[in-house]
Each structure stands twice: as C-alpha cells, then as structure tokens.
Amino acid sequence: LKFIGKVKTGVIALDDITAMGGSCPPSKMCTFDDDDEMCGYTQDSKNAVNWDVKSGEDNDTLYRMPDHTTQSIEGSYLYIGFKETPVGSTQSA
C-alpha cells in the first residue's frame, strides 16, 4: 500500500482506509486520455467540490509534472482545485 502526495500548497488527507486479507479484485487502469474521460467513475452529487479531467496545458498552477502515460505535460489527469474547496468539506470520486 503506497500513498504519494505532491502539492505546492494545500493539504492532502486520507480517511477511512480499510485493509482486508484475501485476493484483490482486478486492478483498474485509467489514463484519463480516452473518450470516457472519468473512466467509469462518477461524481458524488452530495460532494461540495468537483473532480475534473484536465491536461497539462489546462493547469492553472506553476508546478506541472509530466504525465506518466505520455511523458509530457500534454496528458490528462483527474484534478480538484483546492483553492475552490470549502473548509471542512469532504471529497470522494
């Protein structure tokens, strides 16, 4: 189990993580570059913030990491704008 968070500003938090024994379900691979932008994931309608698929050129921050699929800033990724997140809100995909 590995969690990596790299942010220039803001806070990353994890909550309610459960580890269980046994076989894992098949992994899901998503590049966010396909026609199905959200790769079958849905936005929780009760959520106070919105996840969005963006590409490097849409990034409104100065810190741009190369996309792991395309090895350039042109690839797509799932994004949430922390500046727009109300204090005390929760996020889920």
Q: Say if CB 89 and CB 51 are below 8 A apart.
A: no
Tell me, yes or no, whether 7 lies in a domain: no
Pull the structure tokens for residue 20.
């269980």
Res. 42: pLDDT tops 70: yes
Find the largest Cα–Cα distance for the chain: 42
Tell me, yes or no, whether 28 lies in a domain: no
Work out the percent of the chain whose per-residue pLDDT is above 90: 0
Res. 39: pLDDT tops 60: yes
Task: Return d(Cα 40, Cα 49) in angstroms, integer.
Answer: 18
Tell me, yes or no, whether 74 lies in a domain: yes
Tell me, yes or no, whether 81 lies in a domain: yes
Range of the domain at 66: 51-85
| Beta-carbon count within 10 A of 79 CB | 17
Tell me, yes or no, whether 30 lies in a domain: no
Return the pLDDT at 46. Answer: 77
Single out the residue of 43, 48, 49, 51 nearest to residue 77, CA to CA.
51
Where residue 30 falls among pLDDT bands split at 50, 70, 90?
Answer: confident
Pull the structure tokens for residue 2.
């590995």
Return the pLDDT at 89. Answer: 61
Number of domains comprising the chain: 1
